[in-house]
């Protein structure tokens, strides 16, 4: 079934049934994106009709986990947008280094490539010991991958190029061990990660942070949900804390925008004023 063949009404009905049955709320997600993801699931899992799909989602116990995993987009890479990481390394981490403790929240961290990127930078800046990285996602399966820190070896060429472009000076291959077609990152990098499920739609703030990183997550939300999540981040950031989003994400039309200043005209990092 092509995305354009999924009716708005049948989709809205199913998403409401999913909230009632499982508590997962996708009703404020981008309709066009959800339709594409469902269309993709149709092909992967060989559904013949929307009704068959709906029945499976609502009655087959284990299928909702797959639904959540496949509806959410889990495409990410290490040091994605190297200019962004360069700015973190040169302007944000030196400020955080002056604090006694550093708490960083990676919201919607997916399989964790960007969390490992942060761990590498914290180590290189010399503040790993006093830092904690909270890695959260709606999807428990991707968090298993964060815990493992194992990525396909074929991705490492890109990761390594990104690392160098972001200002990394070490030998990138010293951070992982390659075996067959996989690369496993050092356990030390994971030692300061706290991994947990968290649903940005329904869960509340759980700590105060100096830096919140949430990249290419808000693009899948409608405007009211974007505003709500930005309020959640604002409530979870210390005064003078930093908020970092994806390269095409904005806070300028959100209610919190007057309380933030952008560090750089290009990279999407803002600092809370007070």
Binding site for another protein (CB under 8 A): 2-9, 30-33, 35-37, 73, 75, 216, 219-220, 223, 246, 248-250, 253
Minimum CB–partner distance for residue 164 and another protein (Å): 16
Give min distance, CB of 222 to another protein, in A.
8
Q: With beta carbons less than 8 A apart as the criterion, state whether 102 and 93 touch.
A: no
One-character DSSP codes across 158-190: HHHHHHHHTT--S-GGGGEEEETTEEEE-HHHH
Q: Distance between alpha carbon 274 and the CA centroid of its chain, in Å?
A: 26
Distance CA 241, CA 212 (A): 8
Instruction: CB nearer to another protein: give 11 or 125.
Output: 11
| Shortest distance in whole angstroms from residue 230 CB to another protein | 13
The Cα 103–Cα 210 span in angstroms is 6
Closer to another protein by CB, 102 or 230: give it: 230
**What span, in angstroms and rounded, lies between the C-alpha atoms of 17 and 190?**
38
Q: Nearer Cβ to another protein, position 77 or 186?
A: 77
Instruction: Find the shortest distance in angstroms from Cβ 33 to another protein.
Output: 5
Q: Please say which residue, 29 or 172, places its beta carbon nearer to another protein.
A: 29
Residue closer to another protein by CB (options 8, 181) is 8
> To the nearest whole angstrom, how small is the minimum distance from the Cβ of residue 221 to another protein?
9
Give whichever of 7 and 23 is closer to another protein, judged by the CB atom. Answer: 7
Q: How far is the CB of 197 from another protein (least distance, A)?
A: 21
125: part of which helix (H) or strand (E)? helix 113-125
Q: Which residues pair with 104 in a beta bridge?
A: 133, 211
**29 has which bridge partners?**
221
Nearest of 242, 95, 231, 85 to residue 163 by alpha carbon = 85
């Amino acid at each position: 079934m092509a995305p354009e063949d999924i009716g708005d009404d049948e989709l809205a009905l199913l998403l409401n049934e999913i909230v009632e049955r499982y508590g997962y709320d996708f009703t404020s997600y981008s309709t066009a994106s959800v339709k594409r993801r469902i269309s993709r699931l149709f092909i992967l899992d060989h559904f013949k009709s929307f009704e068959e799909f709906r029945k499976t989602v609502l009655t087959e116990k284990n299928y909702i986990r797959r639904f959540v995993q496949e509806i959410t987009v889990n495409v990410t890479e290490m040091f994605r947008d190297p200019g962004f990481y360069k700015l973190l390394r040169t302007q944000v981490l030196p400020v955080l280094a002056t604090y006694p403790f550093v708490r960083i929240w990676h919201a919607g961290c997916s399989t964790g490539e960007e969390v490992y990127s942060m761990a590498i930078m914290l180590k290189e800046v010399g503040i790993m010991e006093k830092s904690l990285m909270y890695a959260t996602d709606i999807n428990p399966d991707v968090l298993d991958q964060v815990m493992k820190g194992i990525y396909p070896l074929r991705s490492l060429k890109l990761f390594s190029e990104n690392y160098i472009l972001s200002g990394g000076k070490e030998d990138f291959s010293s951070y992982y061990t390659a075996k067959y077609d996989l690369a496993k990152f050092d356990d030390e990098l994971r030692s300061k990660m706290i991994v947990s499920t968290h649903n940005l739609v329904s869960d509340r703030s759980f700590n105060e942070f100096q830096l919140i990183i949430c990249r290419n997550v808000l693009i899948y939300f409608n405007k009211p949900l974007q505003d709500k999540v930005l309020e959640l981040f604002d409530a979870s950031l210390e005064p003078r804390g930093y908020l970092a989003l994806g390269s095409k994400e904005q806070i300028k039309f959100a209610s919190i925008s007057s309380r933030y200043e952008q560090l750089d005209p290009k990279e999407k990092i803002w600092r809370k004023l007070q």
